[in-house]
Each structure stands twice: as C-alpha cells, then as structure tokens.
C-alpha cells in the first residue's frame, strides 16, 4: 500500500486485511436540501480525519475551520472547504485563527441577522478537535450558541471539568445532539460484537471479559514519551488520553441493556487498578549511550530501535524515506509538505536535533514536544502498562423476587479486565476474550470467533472494514453524528430521538465512562478497591443539579 494513502489519525496495522485495496468508506447518505454545515475547530490529525470522513461518507458539508497555525489552516481549507482545489474560500465565516474568533464572529452575525441585515449562513454543528486540556473551555464557551457538538475524546482532563461540561450542555439536549470521540463504538466490528452479545445472546450471559489494547512500542514512544501526552501534569494519565474509549466499550457491552429494552443500566460494583511507568525511564537506558540526551548526538543511535532518526527519517515505521509526509512526520514538522522534497530531510533532522538541558525553563520544556529526545531521558511520567478490573454484582430487575437465568436478563455477576500495554508489535489492534454461560468469543479486530459449548460449533464472523481509521470507527462516528444533525435540522426529529437512534450514547453515558477512568486512577494511585456507587455519589453526585 502506498505511503500517501495512509490515514493521518495515527498508527494502523496494515495486516487487518490481506489486500487493503478494497478498504473504502461507504457512499455518503443522500443529501438534504439544506445539508448540515460543519465547523472543525483544530486542524490537526483528528480534525482532518473527521473532515475527511465528513466529505467522503456523510451528508454534511465542511464550511469553516478554526486553527491558529496558518499553514494547517490554509491546507485544511484547500483540502476540505475549497471546491476548485486551488483558491481559499471566502474569509468571512470560513477561516478563524481560534475558537474565540469564531465565537465573536458568530455572535456578531446573529446580531446582524436579528437587525435584518444580510449575513452569511451560520454553521449547524462543530467538531472540537483541539488539545485535550482545551476541550472544557471550548465546549463550555460554545454551549450558549446552541450548536450540535462532537468533542474529541477524552471529554476533559479532570472529572470536575467533565461535570462542568455536562451542566453546560444539558440545557440544550432538548433540541441539540452531542457526541464524543469514542470511535470504537462505531466500527462495524464492535457493532456486530454488541449485537452478538446483547441481541443474539450467542454465548448466553457474559461472565468475564478480558480486553487488551496493545499500543505499540514506537507509537507509545512517539505520543506518550516524546509527544503531547507524556506528562500527567500537562495533559492527563495515559488511561484517560489513550484508553478512555476502551473503558467505554467495556461499559457499553456490560452495562447497557439490549437494544429496545427500557431496563436501567447494570452498573459496576467495584473498580481496582495497578500500573506504572515500567520501561521508558533513565534506569533502562543502555550504558553505552552515556550522557547523550538526544538521538542525533548519541553514540549508539544506529543500533537503537528508538532512534528518532530511524523512526521519523528512515525507510521503516512510516518514516520520511517511505514517502510518508503525514502522521507521524506531520506531528514532528507540521509544514513538512511546504518544503521541496530535497529539503524535507534537512528540515526534519533540524527539528529532531532540538533538545533541552538543566538551564531550559521548565515551562518551555512542558509547552512543546521533543521528538529527538532519548526515550530514557525524557520528562514523561505516564503509565506504559496498566490493568483495570471492574466487577458487577448480581442485580435482578425486581429486587427480592425469586430469580432464575431468564429473569436475570444479563444482570448476573460478572467482571472485566482491561490491559493497556506499550511494548507490543501490534499497534492499537485490540483483541478481546469474552466468556459466557453458553460459549466464548475471541475478537481480534479482524474476525469475531464464537465457540458454542452445547453444540461444539465454531462460527467466524467477518466484518466489513470501512476504513483503516479505528476499523471504520472514524467514518462511522462522523456519519452517525452528522445524520443525527440532519434529522433534527431537516426532518423534524426531536433531538433525543436522533441522539438515541444515530449516536446511540447519552451525555450521561459519556460522563459515566470518563468517571470510571478517574475512579480507576484513584484506585491505582491509592492502591485500593473503589466501591463504585459510593464513589459516584461522593465525587459526581447528582450531575443534573
């Protein structure tokens, strides 16, 4: 597969299918007379991924972008807003340097419209794709506009900010939809898995789930040792920034009632966790590397598999010499494509040579990434391996009444174990074992294999791969969110109906899955078992209040 065809959102495993030439997004749904108009805030890899998905697979149109980096902003406009492929779109209402610029413009536009003046058409929905720590301010700031909002995961970096966002958004839920970037819910693989478990009940009641997220050795070093998400103090724990949608998937499979049921969710009883920074630290540094802190000045650079030159420049790992100029190269040097091909290697090496020492102010070190830094000499502190265990007690719908297998309706005792591990060859290609009363399932992001105890039969379910972006989840989330917006805007649907049928996740569920991550972190750092209900009542309480 040619490097230029790789997606920008992050690492993918090209072995997902023997021949990826047929990995194509589905055709877009029919356009309405007035298609949903989309603003993307943040023109980084995730913003471009959602914009690309909107253009290719939705019935909405991308009409505006807010992005402080001029190169990224104009490149985004040419790729997703311009229709002639060359010129930039009109500046009014299309290009903003940040979300506050859009907010000011939109408030003025509405005032002019109310005064009867001719104004450009506004936007219907926003994709919030800025840095994690900015999500709260952007979403709360935009909430009074009453727009449909999709916020990239995680919702926020603190529980308090998540609750604050809930309270800002809740008053608008009667007429606006909301989604979060839990893309795993929307891949064909996971939607089929949920159907097999909750609707078809192919293995009876679920007793245990063991779910693994293999991050990938060089992907972890890129994002969580050298990159944006390396420090809890500047972002958040890796369980939140990397794995919050894995926790969400587990709760989606084990808490939610079957589709069509109005039963309350079956909530966990306890959560515990263990994990630490095991590998990417100074004590693991090879002795032969000496005092080197940057790969380009290291005596063993040529032999080190973490060499930044090998990863970002070389002919492997999607380096520049493979012909790739997108992720991860575009993260190291965002404007790499603006340089002549003969100049790009020089520019990239200059970026990798940048380093800091004891005289560099801490705030200067914290505010940027250091992709040439030795992975054993970086300032990272997030876990590179972690396990979370959740348990559920038996909870029949009618407490005190006599129960049997049928009356439990999937609400029996069960447990789930989640394992995030950095040191793997697999990159974000998750796999899951599910053990039930009547069989077991192994799902590996390619195939769902069902083993039935009673019949001894084995059935393999192959799912369509709509794109390499989270197994089609990027495309699926974008399409479903914009379809929900379209149903509200053009077809008279109540927002709650569109939220349920197209997004399939409530704002309360978003808060719950994020809260579970924060509870797991408290359990890990405090070396204790958290009782979920008591913790929720104490830390979250009545979020509607």
The CATH number linked to 529 is 3.30.360.10
Whether 226 and 179 have beta carbons less than 8 Å apart is answered as no
pLDDT on residue 467 = 52
CA angle (293 as vertex; 287, 298 as ends), nearest 5: 65
Examine residue 65 and state whether it is found in any structural domain, yes or no: yes
Half-sphere exposure of 495 (CA within 13 A, CB side): 17
Does residue 249 share a domain with residue 116? no
In a structure prediction context, what are the per-residue pLDDT tens digits for the chain, which is 545 residues long?
233 333 344 544 333 343 344 556 677 899 999 999 999 999 999 999 999 999 999 999 999 999 999 999 999 999 999 665 456 666 689 999 999 999 999 999 999 999 999 999 999 999 999 999 999 999 999 999 999 999 999 999 999 999 999 999 999 999 999 999 999 999 999 999 999 999 999 999 999 999 999 999 999 999 999 999 999 999 999 999 999 999 999 999 999 887 778 889 999 999 999 999 999 999 999 999 999 999 999 999 999 999 999 999 999 888 999 999 999 999 999 999 999 999 999 999 999 999 999 999 999 999 999 999 999 999 999 999 999 999 999 998 877 665 676 777 789 999 999 999 999 999 999 999 999 999 999 999 889 999 999 999 999 999 876 555 556 789 999 999 999 999 999 999 999 999 999 999 999 999 999 999 999 999 999 999 999 999 999 999 866 54
Tokens 């032999």 -> residue: 303
Examine residue 518 and state whether it is found in any structural domain, yes or no: yes
pLDDT on residue 17 = 40
Whether 418 and 388 have beta carbons less than 8 Å apart is answered as yes
Give the distance from CA 361 to its chain's centroid: 32
Examine residue 444 and state whether it is found in any structural domain, yes or no: no
Does residue 286 share a domain with residue 149? no
Phi first, then psi, for residue 500 (nearest 5°) are: -70, -45
What is the C-alpha to C-alpha distance for residues 328 and 223, in angstroms, rounded to an integer?
Answer: 9
Does residue 81 share a domain with residue 15? yes
SS percent in the chain: helix, strand, coil, step 5: 40, 15, 45
pLDDT on residue 397 = 82
Whether 473 and 183 have beta carbons less than 8 Å apart is answered as yes
Instruction: Please report the DSSP string for 314-362 in residue order.
Output: SSSTT-GGGT--STTHHHHSTTGGGS-HHHHHHHHHHHHH----TTS-H
Instruction: Please report the DSSP string for 78-102 in residue order.
Output: IIII-SSSSSPPPSTTTEESSHHHH
Does residue 387 share a domain with residue 481? no
The CATH number for 43's domain is: 3.40.50.720
pLDDT on residue 258 = 77
**Which residues touch 490 (CB under 8 Å, ≥6 apart)?**
32, 33, 34
pLDDT on residue 86 = 54
Tokens 């399939």 -> residue: 504
Domain hosting residue 21, numbered range: 3-184+472-505
Examine residue 63 and state whether it is found in any structural domain, yes or no: yes
pLDDT on residue 261 = 80
pLDDT on residue 11 = 47
Whether 58 and 26 have beta carbons less than 8 Å apart is answered as no
Tokens 């356009």 -> residue: 31
Whether 247 and 418 have beta carbons less than 8 Å apart is answered as yes
Examine residue 450 and state whether it is found in any structural domain, yes or no: no
Does residue 100 share a domain with residue 27? yes
Does residue 397 share a domain with residue 288? no
Helix spans in 39-132 (H): 45-57, 70-76, 99-114
Count structural domains, the chain.
Answer: 3
275 closest CA partner among 203, 215, 234: 215
Does residue 172 share a domain with residue 67? yes
Examine residue 375 and state whether it is found in any structural domain, yes or no: no
Torsion of CA 231, 232, 237, 238, to 10 degrees: -10
348 closest CA partner among 333, 327, 369: 333
207's enclosing H/E stretch is strand 206-214
Examine residue 392 and state whether it is found in any structural domain, yes or no: yes
Torsion of CA 67, 71, 74, 78, to 10 degrees: -120
Read off the tokens for 481: 């969110």
What strand order describes the sheet that includes 458-462? 458-462, 447-452, 439-443, 431-436, 206-214, 414-421, 385-392, 270-276, 530-531
pLDDT on residue 180 = 97
Does residue 153 share a domain with residue 177? yes
Does residue 146 share a domain with residue 13? yes
Phi first, then psi, for residue 277 (nearest 5°) are: -85, 105
Does residue 286 share a domain with residue 221? no
pLDDT on residue 90 = 64
Does residue 515 share a domain with residue 489? no
363's enclosing H/E stretch is helix 362-366
Burial of 264 (0-12, 13-18, 19+ CB in 10 A): exposed
Q: Which of 366, 392, 417 represents a domain boundary (last residue)?
A: 366
Does residue 178 share a domain with residue 57? yes
Q: Which of 312, 335, 366 represents a domain boundary (last residue)?
A: 366
Examine residue 374 and state whether it is found in any structural domain, yes or no: no
């Amino acid at each position: 597969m040619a490097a230029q065809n790789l997606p920008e959102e992050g690492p993918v495993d090209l072995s997902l299918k023997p021949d990826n030439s047929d990995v194509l997004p589905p055709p877009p749904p029919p356009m309405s007379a007035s298609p949903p108009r989309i603003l993307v805030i943040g023109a980084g890899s995730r913003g471009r991924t959602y914009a690309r998905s909107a253009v290719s697979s939705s019935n909405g149109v991308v009409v505006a972008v807010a992005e402080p980096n001029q190169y990224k902003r104009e490149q985004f406009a040419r790729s997703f807003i311009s229709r002639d492929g060359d010129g930039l779109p009109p500046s009014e209402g299309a290009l903003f340097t940040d979300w506050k610029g859009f907010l000011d413009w939109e408030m003025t536009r509405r005032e002019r419209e109310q005064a009867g003046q001719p104004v450009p058409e506004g936007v219907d929905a926003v994709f919030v794709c800025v840095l994690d720590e900015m999500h709260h301010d952007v979403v709360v700031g935009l909430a009074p506009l009453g727009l449909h909002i999709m916020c990239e995961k995680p919702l926020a970096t603190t529980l308090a900010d998540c609750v604050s966002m809930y309270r800002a958004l809740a008053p608008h839920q009667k007429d606006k939809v909301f989604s979060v970037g839990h893309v795993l819910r929307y891949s064909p693989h996971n939607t089929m898995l949920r159907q097999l478990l909750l609707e078809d009940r192919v293995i009876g009641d679920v007793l245990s789930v063991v779910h693994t997220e293999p991050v990938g050795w060089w992907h972890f070093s890129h994002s969580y040792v050298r990159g944006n998400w390396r420090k809890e103090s500047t972002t958040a724990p890796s369980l939140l920034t990397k794995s919050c949608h894995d926790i969400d998937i587990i709760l989606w499979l084990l808490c939610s009632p079957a589709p069509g049921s109005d039963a309350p969710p079956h909530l966990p009883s306890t959560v515990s966790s263990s994990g630490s920074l095991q590998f990417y630290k100074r004590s693991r540094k090879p002795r032969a590397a000496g005092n080197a802190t940057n790969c380009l000045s290291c005596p063993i650079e040529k032999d080190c598999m973490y060499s930044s030159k090998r990863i970002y420049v070389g002919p492997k790992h999607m380096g520049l010499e493979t012909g790739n100029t997108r992720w991860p190269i575009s993260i190291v040097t965002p404007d790499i494509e603006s340089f002549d091909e003969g100049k790009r290697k020089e520019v990239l090496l200059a970026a990798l040579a940048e380093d800091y020492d004891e005289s560099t102010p801490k705030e200067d070190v914290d505010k940027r990434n250091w992709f040439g830094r030795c992975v054993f000499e970086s300032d990272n502190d997030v876990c590179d391996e972690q396990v979370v265990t959740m348990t559920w007690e038996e909870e029949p719908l009618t407490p005190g009444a006599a129960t049997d297998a049928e009356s439990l309706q999937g609400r029996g005792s069960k447990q789930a174990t989640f394992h995030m591990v950095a040191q793997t060859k697999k990159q974000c290609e998750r796999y899951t074992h599910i053990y039930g009363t009547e069989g077991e399932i192994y799902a590996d992001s390619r195939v769902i294999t069902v083993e039935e105890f009673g019949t001894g039969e084995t059935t393999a379910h192959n799912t369509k791969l709509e794109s390499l972006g989270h197994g089609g989840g990027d495309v699926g989330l974008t399409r479903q969110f914009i379809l929900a917006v379209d149903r509200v805007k053009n077809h008279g649907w109540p927002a709650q109906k569109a939220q349920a049928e197209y997004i399939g996740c409530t704002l309360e569920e978003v808060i719950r899955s994020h809260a579970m991550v924060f509870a797991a972190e408290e359990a890990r750092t405090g070396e204790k078992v958290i009782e979920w209900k008591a913790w929720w009542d104490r830390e979250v309480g009545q979020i509607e209040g």
